[in-house]
Chain A
Protein backbone atom coordinates (compact mmCIF):
# COMPACT_ATOMS: atom_id res chain seq x y z
CA UNK A 1 0.00 0.00 0.00
CA UNK A 2 1.45 3.31 -1.04
CA UNK A 3 1.50 6.39 1.17
CA UNK A 4 -1.13 8.31 -0.72
CA UNK A 5 -3.72 5.49 -0.79
CA UNK A 6 -6.55 6.25 1.55
CA UNK A 7 -8.06 3.56 3.77
CA UNK A 8 -10.56 1.32 1.99
CA UNK A 9 -14.07 2.22 3.01
CA UNK A 10 -17.10 -0.04 3.07
CA UNK A 11 -18.94 2.47 0.95
CA UNK A 12 -16.26 2.34 -1.75
CA UNK A 13 -16.33 -1.48 -1.86
CA UNK A 14 -20.14 -1.47 -1.89
CA UNK A 15 -19.98 0.87 -4.87
CA UNK A 16 -17.55 -1.50 -6.59
CA UNK A 17 -20.03 -4.37 -6.08
CA UNK A 18 -22.93 -2.34 -7.43
CA UNK A 19 -20.91 -1.27 -10.50
CA UNK A 20 -19.28 -4.63 -11.23
CA UNK A 21 -22.48 -6.64 -10.88
CA UNK A 22 -24.89 -4.02 -12.18
CA UNK A 23 -26.92 -4.47 -9.02
CA UNK A 24 -30.22 -2.69 -9.13
CA UNK A 25 -29.62 -1.09 -5.75
CA UNK A 26 -27.47 1.67 -4.30
CA UNK A 27 -24.23 1.21 -2.36
CA UNK A 28 -25.95 2.52 0.78
CA UNK A 29 -28.47 -0.29 0.63
CA UNK A 30 -25.84 -3.00 1.16
CA UNK A 31 -25.69 -3.75 4.87
CA UNK A 32 -22.09 -4.14 6.13
CA UNK A 33 -22.81 -7.32 8.14
CA UNK A 34 -25.27 -8.90 5.72
CA UNK A 35 -24.05 -12.05 3.91
CA UNK A 36 -23.18 -11.37 0.26
CA UNK A 37 -23.95 -14.89 -0.94
CA UNK A 38 -26.97 -17.10 -0.32
CA UNK A 39 -29.06 -15.37 2.31
CA UNK A 40 -28.64 -11.61 2.15
CA UNK A 41 -27.58 -10.24 -1.21
CA UNK A 42 -27.96 -13.64 -2.90
CA UNK A 43 -24.86 -13.51 -5.09
CA UNK A 44 -23.54 -16.66 -6.82
CA UNK A 45 -20.23 -18.06 -8.02
CA UNK A 46 -20.28 -16.18 -11.35
CA UNK A 47 -20.63 -12.98 -9.36
CA UNK A 48 -17.60 -13.97 -7.28
CA UNK A 49 -15.54 -14.20 -10.46
CA UNK A 50 -16.73 -10.76 -11.58
CA UNK A 51 -15.95 -9.27 -8.17
CA UNK A 52 -12.46 -10.79 -8.32
CA UNK A 53 -11.83 -9.12 -11.69
CA UNK A 54 -13.07 -5.76 -10.43
CA UNK A 55 -10.88 -6.04 -7.31
CA UNK A 56 -7.77 -6.83 -9.33
CA UNK A 57 -8.41 -3.84 -11.61
CA UNK A 58 -9.11 -1.40 -8.79
CA UNK A 59 -6.83 -2.61 -6.02
CA UNK A 60 -4.06 -4.36 -7.90
CA UNK A 61 -4.14 -7.83 -6.38
CA UNK A 62 -5.51 -11.19 -7.46
CA UNK A 63 -7.86 -13.23 -5.31
CA UNK A 64 -6.94 -16.87 -4.75
CA UNK A 65 -8.84 -19.75 -3.24
CA UNK A 66 -7.40 -20.34 0.20
CA UNK A 67 -8.34 -23.32 2.26
CA UNK A 68 -11.59 -22.37 3.99
CA UNK A 69 -10.88 -18.66 3.57
CA UNK A 70 -12.87 -17.81 0.45
CA UNK A 71 -16.18 -18.13 2.26
CA UNK A 72 -14.90 -15.92 5.04
CA UNK A 73 -13.67 -13.20 2.67
CA UNK A 74 -17.03 -12.98 0.97
CA UNK A 75 -19.04 -13.47 4.14
CA UNK A 76 -19.98 -9.79 4.32
CA UNK A 77 -19.15 -6.37 2.95
CA UNK A 78 -17.20 -5.71 6.16
CA UNK A 79 -15.01 -8.81 5.74
CA UNK A 80 -14.41 -8.13 2.08
CA UNK A 81 -13.39 -4.54 2.84
CA UNK A 82 -10.96 -5.72 5.52
CA UNK A 83 -9.49 -8.30 3.14
CA UNK A 84 -8.99 -5.68 0.43
CA UNK A 85 -7.41 -3.26 2.90
CA UNK A 86 -4.73 -5.79 3.89
CA UNK A 87 -3.99 -7.00 0.35
CA UNK A 88 -4.27 -3.95 -1.91
CA UNK A 89 -1.22 -2.77 -3.81
CA UNK A 90 -2.79 0.39 -5.23
Chain B
Protein backbone atom coordinates (compact mmCIF):
# COMPACT_ATOMS: atom_id res chain seq x y z
CA UNK B 1 0.00 0.00 0.00
CA UNK B 2 1.12 3.56 -0.64
CA UNK B 3 2.41 5.16 2.55
CA UNK B 4 0.84 8.59 2.21
CA UNK B 5 -2.43 9.19 4.01
CA UNK B 6 -3.31 12.11 1.76
CA UNK B 7 -2.43 13.53 -1.64
CA UNK B 8 -2.53 17.01 -3.12
CA UNK B 9 -5.37 17.65 -5.55
CA UNK B 10 -2.78 18.28 -8.30
CA UNK B 11 0.63 17.01 -7.11
CA UNK B 12 2.49 18.78 -9.91
CA UNK B 13 4.61 21.95 -10.13
CA UNK B 14 2.75 25.20 -10.72
CA UNK B 15 4.12 25.72 -14.23
CA UNK B 16 3.71 22.17 -15.53
CA UNK B 17 1.16 21.79 -18.34
CA UNK B 18 -1.85 19.69 -17.40
CA UNK B 19 -4.28 20.40 -20.24
CA UNK B 20 -3.91 21.71 -23.78
CA UNK B 21 -6.16 23.53 -26.23
CA UNK B 22 -5.35 24.99 -29.64
CA UNK B 23 -2.72 27.64 -28.90
CA UNK B 24 -3.14 27.41 -25.15
CA UNK B 25 -1.35 25.42 -22.46
CA UNK B 26 -3.14 25.22 -19.11
CA UNK B 27 -0.62 24.92 -16.30
CA UNK B 28 -1.30 23.35 -12.92
CA UNK B 29 -1.53 26.85 -11.40
CA UNK B 30 -4.03 28.04 -14.02
CA UNK B 31 -6.08 24.89 -13.58
CA UNK B 32 -6.24 25.25 -9.80
CA UNK B 33 -7.27 28.88 -10.22
CA UNK B 34 -10.10 27.90 -12.55
CA UNK B 35 -11.20 25.18 -10.11
CA UNK B 36 -11.19 27.63 -7.17
CA UNK B 37 -13.26 30.12 -9.14
CA UNK B 38 -15.88 27.48 -9.94
CA UNK B 39 -15.76 26.03 -6.40
CA UNK B 40 -16.83 29.44 -5.07
CA UNK B 41 -19.92 29.34 -7.28
CA UNK B 42 -21.09 25.74 -7.07
CA UNK B 43 -24.39 25.06 -5.32
CA UNK B 44 -24.42 23.27 -1.97
CA UNK B 45 -24.93 19.54 -1.97
CA UNK B 46 -22.97 16.42 -1.21
CA UNK B 47 -23.24 14.90 -4.72
CA UNK B 48 -22.83 16.34 -8.22
CA UNK B 49 -23.45 14.58 -11.54
CA UNK B 50 -20.71 15.91 -13.76
CA UNK B 51 -22.17 15.90 -17.30
CA UNK B 52 -19.68 18.32 -18.90
CA UNK B 53 -18.84 17.37 -22.50
CA UNK B 54 -15.69 19.41 -22.78
CA UNK B 55 -12.75 17.69 -21.10
CA UNK B 56 -11.47 20.88 -19.49
CA UNK B 57 -14.92 21.82 -18.19
CA UNK B 58 -15.25 18.30 -16.81
CA UNK B 59 -11.85 18.37 -15.09
CA UNK B 60 -12.42 21.83 -13.61
CA UNK B 61 -15.82 20.61 -12.38
CA UNK B 62 -14.24 17.55 -10.81
CA UNK B 63 -11.58 19.57 -8.99
CA UNK B 64 -14.03 22.28 -7.89
CA UNK B 65 -16.35 19.66 -6.43
CA UNK B 66 -13.43 18.08 -4.56
CA UNK B 67 -12.51 21.52 -3.18
CA UNK B 68 -16.09 21.79 -1.92
CA UNK B 69 -15.99 18.31 -0.38
CA UNK B 70 -18.56 17.07 -2.92
CA UNK B 71 -18.63 13.64 -4.53
CA UNK B 72 -18.59 13.43 -8.35
CA UNK B 73 -21.12 11.05 -9.89
CA UNK B 74 -20.07 9.82 -13.33
CA UNK B 75 -22.61 8.34 -15.69
CA UNK B 76 -22.36 7.75 -19.44
CA UNK B 77 -26.11 7.31 -19.52
CA UNK B 78 -27.57 10.80 -19.24
CA UNK B 79 -31.18 9.85 -19.90
CA UNK B 80 -33.73 11.66 -17.69
CA UNK B 81 -34.61 8.23 -16.32
CA UNK B 82 -31.04 7.59 -15.15
CA UNK B 83 -30.71 11.08 -13.66
CA UNK B 84 -33.97 10.66 -11.77
CA UNK B 85 -32.85 7.30 -10.43
CA UNK B 86 -29.66 8.95 -9.16
CA UNK B 87 -31.78 11.56 -7.45
CA UNK B 88 -33.76 8.87 -5.66
CA UNK B 89 -30.54 7.48 -4.29
CA UNK B 90 -28.79 10.81 -3.60
CA UNK B 91 -31.59 13.27 -2.77
CA UNK B 92 -29.45 16.42 -2.63
CA UNK B 93 -27.69 15.73 -5.94
CA UNK B 94 -27.39 18.47 -8.55
CA UNK B 95 -26.15 18.31 -12.14
CA UNK B 96 -23.27 20.24 -13.68
CA UNK B 97 -23.02 20.72 -17.44
CA UNK B 98 -21.48 22.94 -20.09
CA UNK B 99 -24.21 22.24 -22.65
CA UNK B 100 -26.81 25.03 -22.74
CA UNK B 101 -29.18 22.72 -24.61
CA UNK B 102 -29.18 20.05 -21.89
CA UNK B 103 -32.41 19.67 -20.00
CA UNK B 104 -31.76 18.02 -16.67
CA UNK B 105 -34.54 16.89 -14.35
CA UNK B 106 -32.21 17.75 -11.44
CA UNK B 107 -31.25 20.99 -9.78
CA UNK B 108 -28.84 22.25 -12.41
CA UNK B 109 -25.73 24.41 -12.60
CA UNK B 110 -24.30 25.52 -15.95
CA UNK B 111 -20.60 26.22 -16.28
CA UNK B 112 -18.10 26.84 -19.02
CA UNK B 113 -14.51 27.20 -17.83
CA UNK B 114 -12.71 30.38 -18.86
CA UNK B 115 -8.91 30.24 -18.75
CA UNK B 116 -7.74 32.70 -16.06
CA UNK B 117 -5.62 35.76 -16.63
CA UNK B 118 -2.18 35.11 -15.15
CA UNK B 119 -2.48 38.12 -12.81
CA UNK B 120 -5.43 36.64 -10.95
CA UNK B 121 -3.77 33.30 -10.14
CA UNK B 122 -4.48 31.91 -6.72
CA UNK B 123 -2.77 28.71 -5.79
CA UNK B 124 -4.90 26.57 -3.55
CA UNK B 125 -3.92 22.92 -3.84
CA UNK B 126 -5.71 21.11 -1.04
CA UNK B 127 -4.57 17.86 0.57
CA UNK B 128 -7.20 15.18 0.09
CA UNK B 129 -7.30 12.14 2.36
CA UNK B 130 -6.57 8.87 0.54
CA UNK B 131 -9.72 7.28 1.92
CA UNK B 132 -12.03 10.11 0.90
CA UNK B 133 -14.83 9.20 -1.49
CA UNK B 134 -13.98 11.20 -4.63
CA UNK B 135 -16.19 9.71 -7.33
CA UNK B 136 -18.91 7.16 -7.89
CA UNK B 137 -19.10 5.51 -11.29
CA UNK B 138 -22.25 3.70 -12.42
CA UNK B 139 -22.99 0.60 -14.40
CA UNK B 140 -26.38 -0.77 -15.33
CA UNK B 141 -27.53 -3.29 -12.78
CA UNK B 142 -29.61 -6.38 -13.39
CA UNK B 143 -32.46 -5.09 -11.25
CA UNK B 144 -33.05 -1.73 -12.90
CA UNK B 145 -31.17 0.20 -10.22
CA UNK B 146 -27.78 1.51 -11.41
CA UNK B 147 -24.89 -0.16 -9.59
CA UNK B 148 -22.61 2.32 -7.80
CA UNK B 149 -18.85 1.79 -7.72
CA UNK B 150 -17.10 3.98 -5.19
CA UNK B 151 -13.66 5.39 -5.95
CA UNK B 152 -11.56 6.73 -3.12
CA UNK B 153 -9.11 9.52 -3.90
CA UNK B 154 -6.16 7.32 -2.93
CA UNK B 155 -7.23 4.52 -5.26
CA UNK B 156 -7.51 6.94 -8.20
CA UNK B 157 -4.14 8.58 -7.51
CA UNK B 158 -2.25 5.33 -6.98
CA UNK B 159 -3.69 3.79 -10.15
CA UNK B 160 -2.51 6.84 -12.14
CA UNK B 161 0.96 6.33 -10.69
CA UNK B 162 0.86 2.68 -11.80
CA UNK B 163 -0.27 3.65 -15.31
CA UNK B 164 2.51 6.25 -15.60
CA UNK B 165 5.08 3.58 -14.69
CA UNK B 166 3.60 1.17 -17.23
CA UNK B 167 3.50 3.72 -20.05
CA UNK B 168 6.81 5.52 -19.37
CA UNK B 169 5.38 8.91 -18.43
CA UNK B 170 8.29 10.59 -16.68
CA UNK B 171 9.25 14.02 -15.39
CA UNK B 172 11.93 14.35 -18.06
CA UNK B 173 9.52 13.27 -20.84
CA UNK B 174 5.92 14.11 -19.94
CA UNK B 175 3.40 12.43 -22.26
CA UNK B 176 0.98 14.53 -24.30
CA UNK B 177 -2.28 12.66 -24.49
CA UNK B 178 -4.95 13.08 -27.15
CA UNK B 179 -7.99 11.14 -26.01
CA UNK B 180 -11.03 10.22 -28.10
CA UNK B 181 -13.07 8.82 -25.19
CA UNK B 182 -15.48 10.80 -23.02
CA UNK B 183 -14.37 11.80 -19.50
CA UNK B 184 -17.42 10.21 -17.85
CA UNK B 185 -16.36 6.77 -19.01
CA UNK B 186 -13.99 5.10 -16.49
CA UNK B 187 -11.35 4.54 -19.20
CA UNK B 188 -11.52 8.16 -20.39
CA UNK B 189 -11.70 9.44 -16.81
CA UNK B 190 -8.49 7.64 -15.82
CA UNK B 191 -6.46 8.29 -18.97
CA UNK B 192 -7.48 11.82 -19.96
CA UNK B 193 -8.43 13.50 -16.68
CA UNK B 194 -6.69 11.76 -13.78
CA UNK B 195 -3.34 11.08 -15.47
CA UNK B 196 -2.64 14.75 -16.25
CA UNK B 197 -3.68 15.76 -12.73
CA UNK B 198 -1.43 13.20 -11.02
CA UNK B 199 1.53 12.26 -13.22
CA UNK B 200 3.81 13.85 -15.85
CA UNK B 201 1.28 14.13 -18.68
CA UNK B 202 -1.00 16.64 -20.38
CA UNK B 203 -4.33 15.95 -22.03
CA UNK B 204 -5.82 17.59 -25.12
CA UNK B 205 -9.17 19.28 -24.47
CA UNK B 206 -10.08 20.40 -27.98
CA UNK B 207 -12.16 18.39 -30.44
CA UNK B 208 -10.97 14.83 -31.06
CA UNK B 209 -13.92 13.02 -32.56
CA UNK B 210 -13.49 12.79 -36.34
CA UNK B 211 -10.22 11.51 -37.84
CA UNK B 212 -9.52 15.04 -39.11
CA UNK B 213 -9.93 16.44 -35.56
CA UNK B 214 -7.47 13.88 -34.23
CA UNK B 215 -4.92 14.70 -36.92
CA UNK B 216 -5.11 18.42 -36.03
CA UNK B 217 -4.96 17.69 -32.31
CA UNK B 218 -1.84 15.55 -32.65
CA UNK B 219 -0.17 18.28 -34.69
CA UNK B 220 -1.07 20.81 -32.00
CA UNK B 221 0.63 18.99 -29.12
CA UNK B 222 4.36 18.35 -28.63
CA UNK B 223 6.03 14.92 -28.67
CA UNK B 224 5.93 12.37 -27.14
CA UNK B 225 2.31 11.94 -28.24
CA UNK B 226 -0.03 9.28 -26.89
CA UNK B 227 -3.35 8.56 -28.59
CA UNK B 228 -6.02 7.16 -26.26
CA UNK B 229 -8.70 5.51 -28.34
CA UNK B 230 -10.88 2.47 -29.05
CA UNK B 231 -10.84 -0.27 -31.72
CA UNK B 232 -13.68 1.34 -33.72
CA UNK B 233 -11.88 4.68 -33.75
CA UNK B 234 -8.58 3.06 -34.79
CA UNK B 235 -10.47 1.46 -37.67
CA UNK B 236 -11.89 4.84 -38.69
CA UNK B 237 -8.45 6.50 -38.46
CA UNK B 238 -6.89 3.78 -40.60
CA UNK B 239 -9.58 4.28 -43.25
CA UNK B 240 -9.28 8.07 -43.29
CA UNK B 241 -6.68 9.93 -45.31
CA UNK B 242 -5.44 11.95 -42.37
CA UNK B 243 -1.66 12.01 -41.81
CA UNK B 244 -0.85 11.78 -38.13
CA UNK B 245 2.06 13.51 -36.41
CA UNK B 246 4.65 11.04 -35.00
CA UNK B 247 2.98 8.91 -32.34
CA UNK B 248 4.93 7.47 -29.42
CA UNK B 249 2.12 5.14 -28.43
CA UNK B 250 -1.48 4.22 -29.07
CA UNK B 251 -3.62 2.96 -26.21
CA UNK B 252 -6.90 1.17 -26.87
CA UNK B 253 -9.61 -0.17 -24.58
CA UNK B 254 -13.37 -0.84 -24.26
CA UNK B 255 -13.42 -3.80 -26.68
CA UNK B 256 -10.93 -6.39 -27.95
CA UNK B 257 -8.52 -5.04 -30.56
CA UNK B 258 -7.83 -7.58 -33.25
CA UNK B 259 -4.17 -8.34 -33.91
CA UNK B 260 -4.39 -7.55 -37.64
CA UNK B 261 -5.68 -4.05 -36.87
CA UNK B 262 -2.98 -3.50 -34.23
CA UNK B 263 -0.34 -4.58 -36.76
CA UNK B 264 -1.78 -2.26 -39.41
CA UNK B 265 -1.76 0.67 -36.97
CA UNK B 266 1.81 -0.02 -35.82
CA UNK B 267 3.03 -0.10 -39.41
CA UNK B 268 1.03 2.85 -40.71
CA UNK B 269 1.95 5.19 -37.84
CA UNK B 270 5.32 3.70 -36.93
CA UNK B 271 4.20 3.32 -33.33
CA UNK B 272 3.43 0.75 -30.63
CA UNK B 273 -0.17 -0.19 -29.89
CA UNK B 274 -1.15 -1.20 -26.36
CA UNK B 275 -4.42 -2.27 -24.88
CA UNK B 276 -5.61 -1.61 -21.37
CA UNK B 277 -7.77 -4.17 -19.65
CA UNK B 278 -10.17 -2.90 -17.05
CA UNK B 279 -13.76 -2.47 -15.99
CA UNK B 280 -15.81 0.33 -14.51
CA UNK B 281 -15.79 -1.43 -11.14
CA UNK B 282 -12.01 -1.73 -10.88
CA UNK B 283 -10.59 0.75 -13.39
CA UNK B 284 -7.55 -0.08 -15.52
CA UNK B 285 -5.73 -3.09 -14.12
CA UNK B 286 -3.53 -4.60 -16.83
CA UNK B 287 -2.07 -3.97 -20.26
CA UNK B 288 -0.54 -5.75 -23.22
CA UNK B 289 1.08 -4.83 -26.50
CA UNK B 290 -1.47 -6.40 -28.82
CA UNK B 291 0.98 -7.69 -31.44
CA UNK B 292 2.93 -9.58 -28.76
CA UNK B 293 0.12 -11.97 -27.89
CA UNK B 294 -2.86 -12.53 -25.65
CA UNK B 295 -1.19 -12.40 -22.23
CA UNK B 296 -2.04 -9.45 -20.00
CA UNK B 297 0.41 -8.03 -17.44
CA UNK B 298 -1.03 -6.53 -14.27
CA UNK B 299 -0.29 -2.93 -13.40
CA UNK B 300 2.67 -2.88 -10.97
CA UNK B 301 0.66 -2.84 -7.73
CA UNK B 302 -2.50 -4.59 -8.87
CA UNK B 303 -2.92 -8.19 -7.68
CA UNK B 304 -5.40 -10.76 -8.93
CA UNK B 305 -6.30 -13.71 -6.75
CA UNK B 306 -6.88 -17.19 -8.20
CA UNK B 307 -10.61 -16.47 -8.43
CA UNK B 308 -10.01 -13.17 -10.27
CA UNK B 309 -10.57 -10.79 -7.37
CA UNK B 310 -8.73 -7.54 -8.06
CA UNK B 311 -6.79 -5.84 -5.26
CA UNK B 312 -4.96 -2.52 -5.47
CA UNK B 313 -3.87 0.30 -3.17
CA UNK B 314 -6.92 1.89 -1.42
CA UNK B 315 -9.29 0.11 -3.83
CA UNK B 316 -12.29 -1.97 -2.81
CA UNK B 317 -11.53 -5.62 -3.79
CA UNK B 318 -13.77 -6.68 -6.64
CA UNK B 319 -14.33 -9.92 -8.57
CA UNK B 320 -14.05 -9.49 -12.35
CA UNK B 321 -17.12 -10.39 -14.36
CA UNK B 322 -14.86 -11.77 -17.09
CA UNK B 323 -13.61 -15.33 -17.08
CA UNK B 324 -9.82 -15.30 -16.76
CA UNK B 325 -7.08 -17.91 -16.67
CA UNK B 326 -4.43 -16.97 -14.11
CA UNK B 327 -0.92 -17.73 -15.32
CA UNK B 328 0.95 -16.40 -12.30
CA UNK B 329 0.47 -13.51 -9.88
CA UNK B 330 1.25 -10.95 -12.56
CA UNK B 331 -0.13 -12.40 -15.79
CA UNK B 332 -3.44 -13.70 -17.05
CA UNK B 333 -5.32 -14.61 -20.19
CA UNK B 334 -8.93 -13.60 -20.91
CA UNK B 335 -11.25 -16.47 -21.70
CA UNK B 336 -14.53 -14.64 -22.23
CA UNK B 337 -17.27 -12.71 -20.62
CA UNK B 338 -20.52 -13.66 -18.98
CA UNK B 339 -23.23 -14.47 -21.50
CA UNK B 340 -25.68 -11.94 -20.10
CA UNK B 341 -23.39 -8.96 -20.71
CA UNK B 342 -23.59 -6.92 -23.91
CA UNK B 343 -20.87 -4.38 -24.69
CA UNK B 344 -21.46 -1.53 -27.12
CA UNK B 345 -19.74 1.83 -27.46
CA UNK B 346 -17.63 0.99 -24.42
CA UNK B 347 -20.69 0.53 -22.25
CA UNK B 348 -22.20 -2.56 -20.78
CA UNK B 349 -25.75 -3.64 -20.35
CA UNK B 350 -27.33 -6.75 -19.00
CA UNK B 351 -29.62 -8.55 -21.43
CA UNK B 352 -31.88 -9.58 -18.57
CA UNK B 353 -32.25 -5.93 -17.61
CA UNK B 354 -32.92 -4.81 -21.21
CA UNK B 355 -35.56 -7.51 -21.54
CA UNK B 356 -37.11 -6.46 -18.25
CA UNK B 357 -37.43 -2.87 -19.52
CA UNK B 358 -38.86 -4.05 -22.85
CA UNK B 359 -41.51 -6.26 -21.29
CA UNK B 360 -42.35 -3.49 -18.80
CA UNK B 361 -43.63 -1.25 -21.60
CA UNK B 362 -47.39 -0.79 -21.76
CA UNK B 363 -48.94 -3.16 -24.28
CA UNK B 364 -45.84 -5.36 -24.65
CA UNK B 365 -46.97 -8.87 -23.74
CA UNK B 366 -43.62 -10.50 -24.42
CA UNK B 367 -40.29 -9.36 -25.74
CA UNK B 368 -36.67 -10.28 -26.24
CA UNK B 369 -33.52 -8.42 -27.26
CA UNK B 370 -31.29 -10.24 -29.73
CA UNK B 371 -27.52 -9.74 -29.98
CA UNK B 372 -26.07 -10.15 -33.49
CA UNK B 373 -23.26 -12.70 -33.60
CA UNK B 374 -20.81 -10.20 -35.13
CA UNK B 375 -21.37 -7.46 -32.53
CA UNK B 376 -17.64 -7.20 -31.70
CA UNK B 377 -16.51 -7.02 -35.31
CA UNK B 378 -19.06 -4.88 -37.13
CA UNK B 379 -19.11 -1.24 -36.00
CA UNK B 380 -22.66 -0.71 -37.17
CA UNK B 381 -24.03 -3.83 -35.48
CA UNK B 382 -26.74 -3.06 -32.93
CA UNK B 383 -29.34 -5.02 -31.02
CA UNK B 384 -32.70 -6.07 -32.39
CA UNK B 385 -35.86 -6.56 -30.38
CA UNK B 386 -38.71 -8.97 -30.96
CA UNK B 387 -41.99 -8.02 -29.35
CA UNK B 388 -45.45 -9.41 -29.00
CA UNK B 389 -47.57 -6.26 -28.80
CA UNK B 390 -50.77 -6.50 -30.85
CA UNK B 391 -52.02 -3.06 -29.75
CA UNK B 392 -48.84 -1.04 -30.27
CA UNK B 393 -46.69 -0.04 -33.25
CA UNK B 394 -42.93 -0.55 -33.46
CA UNK B 395 -42.60 3.23 -33.54
CA UNK B 396 -44.48 3.68 -30.25
CA UNK B 397 -42.42 0.99 -28.57
CA UNK B 398 -39.17 2.66 -29.69
CA UNK B 399 -40.44 5.96 -28.33
CA UNK B 400 -41.10 4.32 -24.95
CA UNK B 401 -37.69 2.65 -24.87
CA UNK B 402 -35.93 5.99 -25.35
CA UNK B 403 -35.27 7.60 -22.04
CA UNK B 404 -35.18 4.21 -20.36
CA UNK B 405 -32.29 2.66 -22.26
CA UNK B 406 -28.81 3.99 -22.88
CA UNK B 407 -28.87 4.99 -26.63
CA UNK B 408 -26.29 2.46 -27.94
CA UNK B 409 -28.50 -0.35 -26.65
CA UNK B 410 -31.68 0.87 -28.32
CA UNK B 411 -32.74 -1.75 -30.85
CA UNK B 412 -32.00 -0.79 -34.42
CA UNK B 413 -35.27 -2.42 -35.30
CA UNK B 414 -38.31 -3.49 -33.30
CA UNK B 415 -39.92 -6.51 -34.91
CA UNK B 416 -43.50 -7.35 -34.02
CA UNK B 417 -44.37 -11.03 -34.01
CA UNK B 418 -47.49 -13.00 -33.03
CA UNK B 419 -45.59 -14.97 -30.41
CA UNK B 420 -42.06 -15.76 -29.32
CA UNK B 421 -40.91 -19.35 -29.86
CA UNK B 422 -40.42 -20.14 -26.16
CA UNK B 423 -39.74 -23.74 -25.22
CA UNK B 424 -41.45 -25.83 -22.50
CA UNK B 425 -39.61 -24.06 -19.69
CA UNK B 426 -40.27 -20.63 -21.17
CA UNK B 427 -36.75 -20.17 -22.54
CA UNK B 428 -35.89 -18.75 -25.93
CA UNK B 429 -33.03 -20.67 -27.50
CA UNK B 430 -30.60 -19.08 -29.95
CA UNK B 431 -31.80 -21.60 -32.50
CA UNK B 432 -35.47 -20.68 -32.15
CA UNK B 433 -34.69 -16.96 -32.43
CA UNK B 434 -32.46 -17.57 -35.43
CA UNK B 435 -35.27 -19.49 -37.14
CA UNK B 436 -37.69 -16.67 -36.35
CA UNK B 437 -35.34 -14.10 -37.88
CA UNK B 438 -34.78 -16.00 -41.08
CA UNK B 439 -38.51 -16.63 -41.49
CA UNK B 440 -39.00 -12.85 -41.29
CA UNK B 441 -36.27 -12.15 -43.82
CA UNK B 442 -37.92 -14.49 -46.27
CA UNK B 443 -41.34 -12.99 -45.78
Residues of A bordering B, CB below 8 Å: 20-25, 38-39, 42, 44-50, 52-53, 56, 62-65, 70-71
Contact = CB atoms under 8 A, between A and B. Distances in A.
Interface of B: 101, 207-213, 216, 232-233, 236, 239-242, 345, 378-381, 398, 402, 407-408, 410, 412-413
A49 B208 CA distance: 11
A38 B402 contact: yes
A15 to B, nearest CB: 15
B236 A65 contact: no
B242 A44 contact: no
A12 B73 CA distance: 43
Nearest to A22: B380
The 6 closest A-B pairs by CB, nearest first: A65-B207, A62-B212, A24-B413, A64-B212, A44-B407, A21-B380
Contact of B402 (A21, A42, A45, A65): A42
A50 B410 contact: no
29 contacts: A20-B380, A21-B380, A22-B380, A24-B413, A25-B413, A38-B402, A39-B402, A42-B402, A42-B407, A44-B407, A45-B209, A46-B232, A46-B345, A46-B380, A49-B236, A49-B379, A50-B236, A53-B211, A53-B236, A53-B239, A56-B240, A56-B241, A62-B210, A62-B211, A62-B242, A63-B210, A64-B213, A65-B208, A65-B213
Given A20-B380, A65-B209, 18 more contacts: A24-B412, A24-B413, A38-B407, A44-B408, A46-B345, A46-B380, A48-B209, A49-B233, A49-B236, A49-B379, A50-B236, A52-B210, A52-B236, A53-B236, A56-B241, A64-B212, A65-B210, A65-B213
Given A62-B211, A62-B212, A53 B407 contact: no
B380 A49 contact: no
B363 to A, nearest CB: 20
Nearest to A39: B402
Nearest to B232: A46
Contacts of B209: 45, 48-49, 65, 70
Contacts, number: 66
Contacts of B410: 42
A50 B212 contact: no
Nearest to B211: A62
A40 to B, nearest CB: 10
A62 B240 contact: yes
Nearest to B384: A24
A22 B410 CA distance: 15
A46 B210 contact: no
Given A23-B412, A24-B413, A53 B240 contact: yes
A42 B212 CA distance: 25
A38 B402 CA distance: 8
A65 B211 CA distance: 10
Contact of A46 (B242, B379, B398, B413): B379
Nearest to B182: A45
B378 to A, nearest CB: 8
Nearest to B233: A49
Contacts of A22: 378, 380-381
A50 B380 CA distance: 8
Given A20-B380, A38-B402, A45 B212 contact: no
Given A38-B407, A42-B402, A62 B236 contact: no
B4 to A, nearest CB: 38
A64 B210 contact: yes
A50 B378 CA distance: 11
B329 to A, nearest CB: 37
Contacts of A56: 240-241
A62 B207 CA distance: 14
Contacts of B381: 22
A49 B235 CA distance: 10
Contacts of A62: 210-212, 240-242
Contacts of A70: 209
A42 B397 CA distance: 13
